[in-house]
Chain A
Amino acid sequence: MPTSPQHGDFLPTASWENLRRRAELLGRVREFFRQRGFLEVETPLLSADTVADRHLDPFPVSAGDGREPRQLWLQTSPEFCMKRLLAAGATAIYQVTRAFRQGEQGPLHNAEFTMVEWYRVGDAMAEGMQLLSELGEWLLGRGPAECLAYGEAFRNYVGLDPHAAATAALVEAASLLGVAAPASLAAEDRDGWLDLLLAEQVQPHLGSPRPVILYDYPASQAALARVRPGPPPVAERFELYVSGVELANGYHELVDPAVLRRRNAWNNARRQADGKPPLPEESRLLAAMEAGLPSSTGVALGFDRVVMLAVGASRLDEVIAFPFDRA
């Protein structure tokens, strides 16, 4: 819906005090990685490649410069290009960049946001979680994170084993716990029900007073993480939560191009079933994986949310000068 500029709309929504804290925290992020010997890198925001994820919608950009227009995408995260750098010899890299996700707007979402992302070759999931915990403590000062397995969190707050329970049991648990479910959520959409229960019943409990890193996600939610064979098989994926807010997502990175191809095809099949346009399945990342991607763990951190929690705000627009509706 088009909105016309209104009186006062040119002003920032964040206070100068919060913008100063934001700048300080950005300095602290760089200090953290400099102390550990990470190289700061920069990669394209506009790329011919994009992550093919069922639930991520990149902004398409048509680059018509007089020749045949090229289909480009604003990046939903810098992970493809950063992994290409790993395949080319990088060992520990980070960057502070903008990421774009179409349709994500709310108190904790802005379609354009600032992401800190890093990779270290040779790290398994445990080392990756340790580094994330240290960064969280360094930025927010709320102590080291407590590690909680996804399955244990569900046993604590939902009362079932998310890896073993039948999908019908997830539906029943949602109903018993009084969770308002979308009428259109299909009874067999297992990940949809897991996400709903996570968002409504688990997440609010995570990260107070101490930060929590949730790890070992269901294999069906591996995204770009590798799966550790079971039983049960789990995705070596982890997320940092502070005060119920999801701050970061990390993977012990998938390196097998054949597995990525299968996941891309599955994601596009789901997207088409959801009525969404498919995304490109081939990419230079696959070429890098075929050439040999070293084993690493990588994490993406939502910087705006970190600033929000650091200043005690409850909405991102309190820490972003010009949020999407004033951009």
Chain B
Amino acid sequence: MASYNTSEFRKGLKVQLDGDPYLMIECNFVKPGKGQALYKCKLRNLLRGTVLDRTYKSGDSLEAADIEEIQAQFLYRQQDQFVFMDNSTYEQYELTKDQVDEGWKYLKEGMICSMMLFNGRPISVAPPNHVVLKVEYCEPGVRGNTATNVTKPCKVETGAEFPCPAFVEVGDLIKIDSRTGEYIERVKE
């Protein structure tokens, strides 16, 4: 298994600790002029999202995490299982609702998502940054009201609800930023 030594430590490194994959989100080099070099790191657990503080000294090393990012197509949902397919190998992957996290709000059949694999097994999935969804239910709009600062909940085809401007109506196609859940605009197709 490959490993990184302290001179290679930097933000964005993916490493393995006690069997879990971690992302190095911060690494600060501290060294008294005549003393031991220290690397003060913050590491985010890619399975649980928890953050660890760890200090290393020069010469230490961390095992590299076998992390691969692939493009996968969302096929279908079966209760709490979400089924995806790697577009290049046709391999199918099942993710739980926990692994998909907020992603379920955006997943439409055929959508190409970016999936992270750890030791060949899926650990998370991210839909495209901008997703177009069809509004299935909302309170009727007020004709002529184009204000965007007044919002109302709109339920879309995936079953999720998003706050949208008052003028949005049932049957509209709306574009949502999947990273924030914010309404961006109404689209034609």
A residues near B, CB below 8 A? 1, 53, 55-56, 103-109, 180-185, 191-192, 194-196, 198-199, 203, 221, 223, 239, 246, 249, 274-276, 302
Contacts and interface: CB of A to CB of B under 8 A. Distances in A.
Nearest to A248: B33
Contact of A198 (B28, B29, B32, B56): B32
Contacts of B59: 184, 274-276
Contact of A199 (B7, B10, B32, B53): B32
A182 B56 contact: yes
Contacts of A199: 30-32, 35, 38
Nearest to A56: B34
A184 B56 contact: yes
A194 B38 CA distance: 13
Given A106-B28, A199-B38, A184 B33 contact: no
Nearest to A274: B59
Contacts of A183: 60
Contacts of A198: 32, 35
Interface in B46-100: 53-60
Contact of B32 (A107, A185, A195): A195
B3 to A, nearest CB: 13
Contact of B33 (A1, A196, A249): A249
A128 to B, nearest CB: 16
Contacts of A108: 29
5 contacts: A106-B30, A191-B35, A195-B32, A223-B34, A249-B34
Given A196-B36, A198-B35, 18 more contacts: A1-B8, A1-B10, A53-B34, A103-B58, A104-B37, A105-B29, A109-B31, A180-B55, A183-B60, A184-B57, A185-B57, A198-B32, A199-B32, A239-B33, A246-B32, A249-B34, A274-B59, A275-B59
Contacts of A181: 55
Interface of B: 7-8, 10, 28-38, 40, 53-60
Contacts of A249: 33-34
Nearest to B6: A103
A185 B34 CA distance: 17
The CB with the most chain B CB atoms within 10 A, among A185, A223, A239, is that of A185
A195 B33 contact: no
Task: Give the dominant DSSP class at A's interface.
Answer: loop
Contact of B36 (A104, A195, A275): A195
Nearest to A180: B55
A5 to B, nearest CB: 18
A75 B49 CA distance: 44
Nearest to B28: A106
A181 B8 CA distance: 20
B32 A203 contact: yes
A182 B31 CA distance: 14
A293 B133 CA distance: 81
A183 B10 CA distance: 19
A274 to B, nearest CB: 6
A107 B33 CA distance: 14
B60 to A, nearest CB: 5
B35 A195 contact: yes
B55 A246 contact: no
A277 to B, nearest CB: 12
A10 B36 CA distance: 33
A194 B34 CA distance: 12
Contacts of B32: 195, 198-199, 203, 246
B31 A104 contact: yes
Given A103-B58, A105-B29, A180 B53 contact: yes
A191 B32 CA distance: 12
Contacts of B55: 180-182, 196
Contact of B57 (A53, A56, A106, A192): A192
B34 A221 contact: yes
Nearest to B10: A1
A106 B29 contact: yes
Contacts of A203: 32
A106 B38 CA distance: 11
Nearest to B35: A195
A183 B54 CA distance: 9
B44 to A, nearest CB: 16
